[in-house]
Every structure is written in structure tokens, then in C-alpha cells.
A and B are shown apart, each in its own frame.
Chain A
């Protein structure tokens, strides 16, 4: 279990690349600084795309955690 408190869960399981990333970007833009998002994705591309985008956009990748058939990407909006 993650220790981070989740403000919003984005269930993007079943979406094709780059859908989960685009949903995260949309949620971050609408969220407040400090908000933490849990993206659920079964898309293999997310494993590289979400960390790359989070680094570029200067947010924080709190945790990447495999689950059954998908992965959690916990991201905190930093700015």
C-alpha cells in the first residue's frame, strides 16, 4: 500500500497510449498545487511516458507500483 494520501484517482485502465498520460495532464492542470493523483494504467507506454512527462513538467513522481494487470503512478502537483 502507498503511504501517500490520494486526492484523485484517475482510472485509465484499458486506454491506449497516450490516453493515460493525457488524462493525467488534464487532471494536473485542473488540480491545486500539492494535490496527489493516482493514475491506474494498463498501457505499457505509460511506464516510460508518465515518468518522462512528470520530470519535464517538474512535478513529483511519488511512487510507481505494479498491481494486477496494471500499474499505479502516484504523482504530486508541485507547481
Chain B
């Protein structure tokens, strides 16, 4: 299989809007170019996908300086949830919640935004990653 056709697997750990947006851009780009994308939501990223919070303010990562933060916030790009919706529309994108993180935050499927396709364990995620890259965000 050509490298460009292998699945791209993203582990989303951080729950800040900047990192989620960067991950969503990678997802939509890979999906548009025909690569299957597996997204695995852990910890704070999973929390950001709660249906009640997904459009809320998820702050910025600590890397954002006082000078950079207002620039990032003012940028008129699309929300990461909209980019992910587009990615699912144009390509083969699976978004799965980490079973451990679901347990940690006492979440059920009903708590999550419909963008999330299901709940799976880490072994199932690694099986779908196969021999493609795994990127941790």
C-alpha cells in the first residue's frame, strides 16, 4: 500500500480549541486526499466533545503567549467541529471515544456529540491504525 493511501490515526489528548483545530485541519486534509482517518479521543479532548460543551470556549494551550492568544482567537477560520463534520462528509473518518476516558469522566454515549461514532478500547484503535502513522495531539 502506498504511504499516501495508508490510514492516518490521530490520538487527541488535548482539549484546547487551538490543538483541536489543528487536529481537525489534519483530519479534513487527509480525508480530502483519500486517506482513511481514525480519531481516538482521550482525556481532555474527549471532554471537549461533550454535546453540551462542544461549541463552548475550550481555551488555548499553554504554548499560546499573551501576544499570540488574541490573534488565534480573532482568526475567522471554521470551528473544529465543523471541519470534522466536513471531513466525515468527504472521506472515511471514524471518531472513537477511548473507553478508559469515558469511564474516568463518567460519560455515556448520550453525553457526546453525534460526531463521535462510538466507544472503543486502545487495542481496537491500534488495530484500525494498522501500519499507518499514529499522531498524538
Q: In the complex the two chains form, is B29's CB within 8 Å of A18's CB? A: yes
Q: In the complex the two chains form, is B32's CB within 8 Å of A25's CB? A: yes
Q: In the complex the two chains form, is B33's CB within 8 Å of A18's CB? A: no
Measured between beta carbons, the chain A residues less than 8 angstroms from B75 are 16
Measured between beta carbons, the chain B residues less than 8 angstroms from A18 are 25, 28-29, 32, 83
Q: In the complex the two chains form, is A52's CB within 8 Å of B33's CB? A: yes
How many B residues have CB within 8 A of the partner chain? 13
The answer for the CA separation of A29 and B78 in the assembled complex, in Å, is: 21
One of B29, B33, B76, B90 near A16 (C-beta < 8 A): B76
Q: What's the minimum C-beta distance from B47 to chain A, rounded to whole angstroms?
A: 26
Q: Give the interface size class of chain A.
A: 10 to 19
B34 within 8 A of A: yes
Measured between beta carbons, the chain A residues less than 8 angstroms from B78 are 16, 19
> Which of A14, A18, A52, A56 has most chain B Cβ within 10 Å?
A18
One of B33, B34, B76, B90 near A22 (C-beta < 8 A): B90
Would A22 and B77 be within 8 Å (CB), given that A52-B33, A53-B33, A56-B33 are in contact?
no
Q: What's the minimum C-beta distance from A19 to chain B, rounded to whole angstroms?
A: 7
Q: In the complex the two chains form, is A17's CB within 8 Å of B32's CB? A: no
The answer for the CA separation of A65 and B33 in the assembled complex, in Å, is: 23
Measured between beta carbons, the chain A residues less than 8 angstroms from B33 are 52-53, 56
B86 within 8 A of A: yes
Would A53 and B32 be within 8 Å (CB), given that A17-B25, A22-B86 are in contact?
yes
Taking Cβ atoms with an 8 Å cutoff, the residues of B that contact A are 25, 28-29, 32-34, 75-78, 83, 86, 90
Shortest Cβ-Cβ A-B pairs, 3 listed: A16-B77, A22-B86, A56-B33
Taking Cβ atoms with an 8 Å cutoff, the residues of A that contact B are 14, 16-19, 21-22, 25-26, 29, 49, 52-53, 56-57
